[in-house]
Chain A
Amino acid sequence: MASLKELKGRIGSVKSTQKITKAKQMVAAAKLRKAQAAAEAARPYAERLEGVMASLASKISISDSSPKLLAGTGKDDTHLLIVCNSDRGLAGAFNSNIVKAARIKAKKLEEDGKKVLFYLVGRKGRPVIKREYPNQIVKHFDTTGVKTAGFDEAKAIADEVMEMFEAGQFDVAHLFYSEFKSALVQDPVGRQIMPVAIDTQEAADTGAAVEYEPDEEEILAELLPRNVTTQIFGALLENNASEQGASMTAMDNATRNAGDLIDRLTIEYNRSRQAAITTELVEIISGAEAL
């Protein structure tokens, strides 16, 4: 049985751990509100952009001259997986869930004989992917320098990815991030962003003659890159909100577990203290009786 002093030390250390997890939980709760508001504020833009694109794409027939972002490169050999992670831990399974989703996709693509490349955003996903696919990481986009990744970062990522696309380094791009459902539920999702998959069925045919300035193709050519940026930006925001949500839940659990552990240790501590007192008493009494 552990000595009293040892037990006391352990209780102390669990208590200080609990303080840390509790603080992190409260920080995450405060940040979550802000991150959630930001993620929600960004939705109208993405929705409208998508609507406009759908209505435009339904009016244009895909030909050889249409932009690559819409028509694709004509091949399906190399896939780029853009994996967005956070820079900080203490968020439960948040990062590993995203990486897992990306790995499943990568495995599937490789089984189909495709080449897979990775573009990583954020610090936390890097070691795992690097271990498994050491030579397939084309770029790691560092977000540790900024407090929260915003539109500028999204634009930088999008520009770089599009440059690679134009250079023919890959044919299809998938974006992996965690979708924010609630503080308790975050879903890792992966979806194709390049070439743009447009649901032309949804385009509302108003029947009215719309005037384009400049013409449709030029507008579309300007719109497509913007759509990629918006999607990445949306992913970063969703990720941020998800991270805080996951962190809050994980830290709440950790705090509760620490509490349970403290209770157990305290009981053990008291029990051994009583045992020590009883032994002492027995010793005194039997000593007195012997006289």
Chain B
Amino acid sequence: MALHFELVTPEKLVRSEDVYMVQVPGSEGEFGVLEGHAPMMSTIRNGAVSIFASEGAEAEVIEIEGGFAEVNEKGLTILAERIAV
């Protein structure tokens, strides 16, 4: 039971790993993605992506700027314009 999560910026592939859940700041509201999520595509606004490595685990937060997210049968891919360091 894992969600394959990828975070990509124009400069590099930032993350590619299996996680439990990811919270994405969609432009029409936050949404969480678990494994088996229905396919969707959304633009995202500037905000924080929270990554939960396992159920109940502490969230890892990455600040991103603009971009969009795609969920398909392979997992979740976030294409972000840039990430804040």
- Interface residues of A, Cβ cutoff 8 Å to B: 38, 41-42, 44-46, 48-49, 52, 56, 150-151, 154, 206, 208-214, 218-219, 222-223, 226, 229-230, 233
Contact = CB atoms under 8 A, between A and B. Distances in A.
Given A38-B11, A42-B10, A206-B72, A213 B27 contact: yes
Given A45-B79, A48-B8, A206-B73, A212 B41 contact: yes
A178 to B, nearest CB: 19
8 contacts: A45-B79, A48-B6, A48-B77, A48-B79, A52-B41, A150-B11, A212-B40, A222-B68
A213 B77 contact: no
Give 10 closest A-B pairs by Cβ, nearest first.
Answer: A41-B12, A213-B42, A211-B40, A210-B39, A44-B13, A45-B8, A208-B39, A45-B10, A151-B10, A213-B28
A42 B82 CA distance: 12
A283 to B, nearest CB: 75
Contacts, number: 77
Nearest to A38: B11
A196 to B, nearest CB: 16
B26 interface: yes
Contact of B82 (A49, A151, A208, A213): A151
A281 B77 CA distance: 86
Nearest to B8: A45
A235 B73 CA distance: 31
B interface, over-half SS:
strand
B9 interface: yes
B17 interface: no
A206 B27 CA distance: 25
B50 interface: no
Contacts of B12: 41-42, 44
A214 B81 CA distance: 18
Interface in B28-79: 28, 38-43, 67-68, 70, 72-73, 77, 79
A49 to B, nearest CB: 6
Contacts of B77: 48
Contacts of A44: 8, 12-13
Given A48-B77, A222-B68, A210 B11 contact: no
Contact of B43 (A42, A206, A218, A230): A218
Given A48-B77, A49-B79, A206-B73, A212 B11 contact: no
A46 B68 CA distance: 13
B13 to A, nearest CB: 5
A151 B73 CA distance: 30
A41 B13 contact: yes
Contacts of B43: 213-214, 218-219, 222
A64 B15 CA distance: 39
